[in-house]
């Protein structure tokens, strides 16, 4: 019963803040809403991290350790939708490369998934799109965070010490061997840090993900999330419900490539992601301070934007 009360806290907290906002000036009301949504998100993340820690041990014992992050990610997806009204809608690109669409790429493994990194809310994006038998990379310091770190350590997270190039390279070498032997995929944010961008933009890409893909000879699958500063804007302390579009682009093959091809691979991937990021963000109306339309399909969404304007 206590865990049901715990799960009931986020919507109750948000409802209370919204009722208070009816009698408060706009700025204090926005601030209250921001902290209510942020607190609710951390409460739900803590609950899911605890759940992940508890299920990780039996799943590893029966040989299904590769499903831990997928199962916990899906739990977080539904908890956040119920608790805050925020979620990510996953679509596949209509373009094809080598006869494989972006949607199909989520099913094929192993692969190196790369995505743009905007805010802490990207954890929810992972929960919504994460394929089975996939693990994330994370900075080594997170390994020692209570609950979250325990869950990540048990679920085959690849920890990277960015301050030490030798250990970072060793971690990627181990990851490449694991991908080849167990067909486990990896998700990496090549920007290396959150951008907190309020407009469609990407930071420069680091090369680790691309070296890993070339070393393991597995495809790179770009995952592009629309700019969602209209849902969460940390700088302006704004947080509200919304549905954010994410496109899975067709895989970029690395068979036969070597380290000397990495620079070109980085450029090709970043250019494709930038093009899709701009397209997605124009469709969603990012930066207008409005929640994303909940209609499905590009034409319907454009129609809603025309009505607004």
Q: Are 62 and 46 in contact (CB under 8 A)?
A: no
pLDDT digit string (tens) for 271-287?
A: 999 999 999 877 765 44
If phi > 0 it is left, if psi is from -120 to 50 it is alpha, else beta; for residue 63 that is: left
Q: Does residue 5 have a pLDDT over 70?
A: no
What's the first-to-final CA gap in the chain, in angstroms? 48
Between the CA of residue 284 and those of 37, 214, 270, 281, what are the distances in Å? 21, 34, 21, 5
161 compared with 267, residue with greater pLDDT: 267
Runs of H (alpha helix) within 85-121: 102-105
Give pLDDT, residue 97: 54
Q: Does residue 173 have a pLDDT over 90?
A: no
Domain boundaries, the chain: 87-289
- Whole-number mean pLDDT of the chain? 82
State both tokens at 104: 């199909």
Q: Does residue 144 have a pLDDT over 90?
A: no
C-alpha–C-alpha distance, residues 285 and 227, integer Å: 9
Give pLDDT, residue 300: 39
Give pLDDT, residue 195: 95
28 compared with 207, residue with greater pLDDT: 207
For 240, the enclosing helix (H) or strand (E) is: none
Q: State the CB neighbour count (10 A cutoff) for residue 18.
A: 13
For residue 227, the number of C-alpha atoms closer than 13 Å in the C-beta half-sphere is 27
pLDDT digit string (tens) for 88-130?
A: 998 876 555 555 555 677 777 899 999 999 999 999 999 999 8
pLDDT digit string (tens) for 73-94?
A: 999 999 999 888 999 998 876 5
Q: Does residue 301 have a pLDDT over 90?
A: no
């Amino acid at each position: 019963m206590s865990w049901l009360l715990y799960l009931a806290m986020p919507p109750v907290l948000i409802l209370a803040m919204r009722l208070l906002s009816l009698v408060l000036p706009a700025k204090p009301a926005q601030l209250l809403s921001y902290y209510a949504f942020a607190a609710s998100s951390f409460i739900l993340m803590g609950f899911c991290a605890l759940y992940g820690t508890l299920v990780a041990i039996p799943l590893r014992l029966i040989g299904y350790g590769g499903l831990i992050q997928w199962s916990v990610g899906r739990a977080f997806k539904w908890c956040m939708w119920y608790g805050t009204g925020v979620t990510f809608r996953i679509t596949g690109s209509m373009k094809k490369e080598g006869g494989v669409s972006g949607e199909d790429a989520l099913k094929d493994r192993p692969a190196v998934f790369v995505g743009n990194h905007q805010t802490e809310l990207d954890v929810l994006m992972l929960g919504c799109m994460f394929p089975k038998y996939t693990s994330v990379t994370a900075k080594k310091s997170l390994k020692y965070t209570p609950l979250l770190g325990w869950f990540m350590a048990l679920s085959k997270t690849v920890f990277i010490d960015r301050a030490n190039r030798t250990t970072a390279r060793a971690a990627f070498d181990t990851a490449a061997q694991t991908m080849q032997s167990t067909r486990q995929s990896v998700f990496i944010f090549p920007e290396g840090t959150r951008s907190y961008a309020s407009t469609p933009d990407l930071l420069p890409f680091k090369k680790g993900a691309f070296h890993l893909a070339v070393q393991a000879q597995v495809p790179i699958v770009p995952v592009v999330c629309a700019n969602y500063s209209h849902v969460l804007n940390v700088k302006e302390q704004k947080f509200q419900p919304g549905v954010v579009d994410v496109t899975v682009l067709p895989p970029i093959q690395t068979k036969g490539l070597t380290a000397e091809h990495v620079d070109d691979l980085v450029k090709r991937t970043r250019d494709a992601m930038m093009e899709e990021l701009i397209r997605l963000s124009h469709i969603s109306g990012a930066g207008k301070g409005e929640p994303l339309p909940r209609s499905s399909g590009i034409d319907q969404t454009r129609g809603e934007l025309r009505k607004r304007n």
